[in-house]
Chains A and B, each alone.
Chain A
Amino acid sequence: MRYIPITCAQREHMLATVGVTGIGELFADVPAQAVLQGLLDLPEPLSEVDLVRHVRGLANQNVPATELVSFAGAGMYDHHIPSVVDHILRRPEFFTAYTPYQPEVSQGTLQGIYEYQSMVCELTGMDVANASMYDGATAFVEAALMACRITRRSRVVVSGTVHPEWIETLETYAASGLLEVVGDECTGGLSDASSLASLVDDRTAAVLVASPNFVGNIEDLAAIGAVARAAGALFVVASNPIMLGVLEPPSTFGADIVVGEGQPLGSPMSLGGPGLGLFACRESHVRQMPGRLVGRTVDIDGNHAFVLTLSTREQHIRREKATSNICSNHALNALAAGAYLCAVGAEGLVGIARSCVAKAHYLRDALLSTGRFSAPWGTPFGYEFALAYEGDASEMHDEMLARGYLAGVVVEAPEGGDLVVFAVTEKRTRGEIDAFVKEVASL
């Protein structure tokens, strides 16, 4: 009866109150032939001592990136999480609450999310942000679907430099027939505006691009935005929120929707989930925006107060006409992102981004100077970059793992062969970088 506080005597009292002699009577509606005989085939229950030993044992079979010297990125990043963030999340009033359907007793969640929405707007330069999507990939898909609703068109043009798992996710949703995906073959590490221009037409709902892109390069958003505008399509930009501390916000280049993976803002990598889908847009499009929104209003005493709003777009009101089916989202990760951005502030965020970028450039120069790596492109980048390795990249990766390093992520180059994508966060020290370069050069 673990976690069940009802005693045997109380159970008898409850059965008697209900007017049945045994619990089985309460399941009389279950067809007899479908009632389980005996117990499910599951492992025996564990005492807390044994349980902790067991899960620790599983955890200890892993080698966490955070205990290696990690240069892995490609969509999940090993940034420092300020101590305050998890201490805030562990407040049970936050994490044991449900969706704030009763605003009078949910002002904590609601105000926290309102503040998060405001901070995402500040980062992206957009007017409105929602209260979070599942992850970057699904936020990207929702942006494409939203663009289709706004333009009443059904085709989206996607740059080949977007994270391949995001493109795969978009293609999965497209199989439902709601939209069609036209992908741009990408060589050269950057989107090609003229190539994208050849793909857009009057059926194009949106042009979607990521900057920094999957291999870390910073795109020419002005040129790509112009391609979208010329076709009457929306311009969807995916960005890394840490980089938005130092990059001109996508709104500057005419972005209509900005999405991103918010994990760098205070969430652990946790094998890739839960992440946090960032999603922001222009005010004029707010009624086509998916997901939850928190707004500020007043109560009957005139106090300022927060409430879920514009819910006429949502599934519990509009049912089959809803702008999306999202119900549970990633509110706690959004709260973490808000706490993170408070903790670092503007100065801290800029400093962290600057530190990441400087260290990434330092690593890249050092790797190139070994003569074992070469740069496929000379494009501007943030804190992530791709290099070609002169030997077998996977063997190098394995060998460096044995020495305690996660030597980036090996990816297939669009031109064929392998590239190694390196990410350098503020956690890496010059000493670690120097030692890594020395070791990798000695292979």
Chain B
Amino acid sequence: MSEHLANTPAGAPLPGPRTLIFDLGAPESSCVLAPALDVPDIDLDVVLGGAGRNEAPRLPHVTELEIMRHYAHLAEMNFGVDSGFYPLGSCTMKYNPRVNEDACRLEGFAGLHPYQPLETLQGALALMHGLATALGEISGLPGVTLQPSAGAHGELAALMVFRAAHEAAGDARKRVIIPETAHGTNPATVTMCGYETVTVASDPNGLVDVEALKAALDTDVAAFMLTNPNTLGLFDPRILEITEAVHAVGAYAYCDGANLNAIMGVTRPGDLGFDALHINLHKTFSTPHGGGGPGAGPVCVNDHLARFLPGPLPVAFPDGTFGLDWPEESLGRVRSFYGNFGVLVRAYTYIRAIGASGVRDAAEQAVLSANYLKERLRDAFEVPYDRTCMHEFVLSGSRQKKANGVRTLDMAKRLLDHGFHPPTVYFPLLVDEAMMIEPTETEPLSALDAFAEALIAIAGEAGSDPDLVKGAPYTTPVRRLDEARAARTPDLRWRPPQA
């Protein structure tokens, strides 16, 4: 199999599957002991009113070294931005500056209790206020809530704001329009907010079909949700006409901010006519994605909508102190406390590090890097929407599939052998055999070139040795998984061996 091991580092063999931690250690092993009891002991069953537990939970019995080795081994089976190029479209996997991590771990931030008196939280509130102000400036939408915990949570909060505004105007509405390129969270969010989804098709250029949108707009439409630039990586040049048409029927224009990294500092969603935007702090403002989270999804809205935002919000008082306040017609609370403060600290630190010029530089370089990579790959793959792209672009593996039955999934798996994380595949849905590639501004040119060369080489293999690609990957800790079996006979937890 050695001929398959392109770009595999020489030396130690890659780690293989790992024993479950439940199967390590010995019954008497333990790591952290509870502190010795320095007050009189209690009879648990008495003080708990008879609700005391009969059998302790069956947790692992391991020592500290065994824990560290276990997780070290698991880490070696994981691929992160620090491991290599991670061009996952629409996810903005850019470098996470380490100073952000140090900042959020400062005791003066990590050690704060949410119900401490506000006078003991002045630095934290100043930070939240500073971040909210910066996000309002970047978005051109000055009303900002930092409450939502993630992008999709922000989408939901924003739709709730629209609902509250429509209801306050005595104008309850039924439908929300999305384009077919929308992120999957958009329709799910619409449903969770009690609206019906109407999907409008894209035009042949992959942009909003403005005539179809206009035909779908009426006074029952609460909002139009658009990702701009969209998931094909295209900025909609008719955006002002679109937001104007949405406003003409009294609906709101919503910007899914997942792709803000492409335009920040260059243009502002508020100036494009959007009424609200959520910002994925973990993407655009460089917080680690943590294997799926946590992120944070602040929502920015125009002045008219600010009074409905979920609270509480940080406020600055004339005397230079900071507090928390509720907008006058706030729709309420979308989670406990004040948002994912630890993520807010990282985003604030990042924005202060790069400043206004750095914000624009990041967007410009992200866009240039994407166009460069597209240019390098355009001969090897189909380019279904061949326009100047923003910070990501979509290729199609349809040529390889047609010629040799090699699917995009196969090529994605083969990229793993070359040491790269694959791009997003099979999304957006309107592109056959889609590969959505987002290099971000933090990748060196050498990484872009190496990735392009690997993908071109794989396109070559797809022609010369299709079975090689279809059998990939060969060098990963585990190989292709039986996902059907996982769904058909779910095994979702460890269970102790039968006695």
Contacts and interface: CB of A to CB of B under 8 A. Distances in A.
Interface in B90-148: 91, 93-97, 99, 101-117, 120-124, 126-127, 134, 137-138
A46 B427 contact: no
Given A2-B358, A45-B358, A104 B473 contact: yes
A270 B368 contact: no
A271 B109 CA distance: 7
A173 B58 CA distance: 36
B147 to A, nearest CB: 9
Contact of B478 (A177, A305, A314): A305
A286 B151 CA distance: 25
**How many residues of B sit at the interface, in one of the four size bands?**
35 or more
Given A115-B21, A324-B188, A354 B42 contact: yes
B111 A66 contact: yes
Contacts of B94: 3
B156 A325 contact: yes
Interface string A376-407: 00011110000000000000011001000010
Given A104-B477, A327-B151, A328-B297, 18 more contacts: A29-B235, A31-B240, A33-B240, A59-B103, A62-B124, A65-B111, A93-B75, A104-B416, A105-B476, A119-B60, A128-B493, A138-B334, A175-B160, A176-B192, A268-B342, A328-B289, A397-B117, A426-B34
A93 B80 contact: yes
B460 interface: no
14 contacts: A3-B362, A5-B443, A39-B265, A55-B349, A65-B113, A87-B68, A106-B78, A108-B78, A169-B336, A297-B486, A305-B17, A318-B188, A342-B31, A345-B60
Interface stretch (A74-82, A193-201, A225-233, A367-375): A74-82
Contacts of B80: 92-97
Contacts of A46: 352-353, 355
B39 A359 contact: yes
A48 interface: yes
Interface residues of A, number: 208
Interface string A37-79: 0011111111010011011111111111111001010111010
B271 A34 contact: yes
A84 interface: yes
B266 A309 contact: no
Contacts of A426: 34-35
A310 to B, nearest CB: 6
Contacts of A6: 365, 368-369, 441, 444-445
B354 A2 contact: yes
B265 A4 contact: no
B341 A52 contact: no
Contact of A297 (B183, B354, B442, B483): B483
B191 interface: yes
B291 A172 contact: no
Contacts of A439: none
B375 interface: yes
Given A102-B422, A273-B149, A347-B56, A320 B486 contact: no
B332 A64 contact: no
B58 A122 contact: yes
A435 interface: no
Contact of A345 (B62, B191, B240): B62
Contact of B74 (A98, A108, A350, A352): A108
Contacts of A339: 67, 71
A182 interface: no
A109 interface: yes
Contacts of B54: 248
A318 B134 CA distance: 36
Contacts of A137: 333, 335-336
Given A58-B126, A248-B54, A274 B359 contact: no
Interface in B185-236: 185, 187-194, 197, 234-236
B238 to A, nearest CB: 9
Given A46-B355, A107-B74, A397-B117, A345 B480 contact: no
Interface string A132-171: 1011111000000100000000000000000101101101
Nearest to A104: B476
A4 B362 contact: yes
Contact of B76 (A59, A93, A362): A93
B78 A29 contact: no
B79 interface: yes
Contact of B34 (A108, A248, A351): A351
Nearest to A319: B187
Given A72-B115, A339-B67, A322 B368 contact: no
Contacts of A430: 38-39
B317 interface: no
A345 B294 contact: no
- For A36, A111, A325, the residue with the greatest tally of chain B CB atoms inside 10 Å of its CB is A325
Contact of B340 (A10, A129, A249, A273): A273
A247 B234 CA distance: 55
3 nearest CB pairs, A to B: A272-B337, A351-B34, A59-B108
A443 interface: no
A333 B479 CA distance: 28
Contacts of A111: 18, 20, 74, 77
Contacts of B427: 316
Given A36-B267, A328-B295, A172 B333 contact: yes
Contacts of A348: 30-34
Contacts of A311: 487
Given A299-B479, A325-B188, A348-B34, A117 B57 contact: no
Contact of B116 (A96, A175, A342, A406): A406
Contacts of B266: 27, 30, 35-36
B429 to A, nearest CB: 9
Given A169-B335, A272-B338, A346 B57 contact: yes
A246 B364 CA distance: 56
Contacts of A26: 364, 367-368, 371, 388
Contact of A331 (B42, B112, B292): B292
B114 A135 contact: no
A259 B466 CA distance: 49
Contacts of B111: 64-67, 78, 268-269
Contacts of B192: 145, 173, 176, 178, 324-325
Interface string B468-482: 000001001111111
- For A29, A33, A175, the residue with the greatest tally of chain B CB atoms inside 10 Å of its CB is A29
Given A247-B51, A309-B490, A382-B48, A99 B291 contact: yes
A102 B51 contact: no
A438 interface: no
- For B188, B191, B487, the residue with the greatest tally of chain A CB atoms inside 10 Å of its CB is B188
Nearest to B417: A104
B107 A64 contact: yes
Interface in B295-343: 295-297, 310, 331-343
A91 B79 CA distance: 11
Given A123-B57, A398-B117, A335 B49 contact: no
A325 B155 contact: yes
- For B239, B265, B355, the residue with the greatest tally of chain A CB atoms inside 10 Å of its CB is B355
B291 A95 contact: yes
B71 A40 contact: no
Contacts of A61: 108, 122-123, 126
